[in-house]
Copies of this chain bind each other. A is one copy, B any other.
Amino acid sequence: MPAIKIGILTSSDRAAAQVYEDISGKEIIRTMNEFLVSEWIPVYRVVPDEQDLLEKTLIELSDTENCCLIVTTGGTGPALRDVTPEATEAVCEKMLPGFGELMRQVSLQYVPTAILSRQTAGIRKKSLIINLPGKPSAIRQCLDAVFPAVPYCIDLIEGPYLKCNEEVVKVFRPKKK
């Protein structure tokens, strides 16, 4: 059985220029290690906030690396250089608006500026792509909210079976009809 690969893509001019450390990408890896019982390999990329680079990297993580799940961090705000949702939409065949709705709703419990986030999710081929916020604490809040639906989504797009630590995240898979 091939290894389960998860793409982690940080969109940040400053992290790409190594002006500061990418703690957001590391927070995602830490959370995935907590959530997943299945063995998995992170495929980790840091790129500046450029839509064409983001698109190229998402396509590589999906088509070449065969990541069943790709999570991005950063670039979802209203500023000029925030283009992660645009790159995501450009490479996806199907959008899943429920992810962004739920993540904004959860973040709204903490900060009223959650409505400024343009986070979304979608499917490219056999990859589920999810935009997470840039802030590490918000990353964990969003993953806690949406991850229960992630393994079943990956089943539906014919990806690998993700086994999770039920003490940490309550994954749900409806019974087949």
Contacts and interface: CB of A to CB of B under 8 A. Distances in A.
A44 interface: no
A128 B115 CA distance: 13
Nearest to A102: B115
A94 B174 CA distance: 33
A102 B80 CA distance: 23
A35 interface: no
Number of copies: 3
Q: Which of A79, A97, A111, A170 has the most CB of B within 10 A?
A: A97
A117 B112 CA distance: 21
A116 B100 CA distance: 11
A97 B100 contact: yes
Contact of A157 (B78, B102, B123): B78
A161 B99 CA distance: 32
Contact of A149 (B102, B115, B177): B115
Contact of A112 (B105, B156, B172): B172
Nearest to A100: B97
B80 A116 contact: no
A162 interface: no
A167 to B, nearest CB: 16
Interface of A: 77-80, 82, 86, 94-102, 104-105, 108, 111-118, 123, 128, 135, 146, 148-149, 152-153, 156-157, 170, 172-174, 177
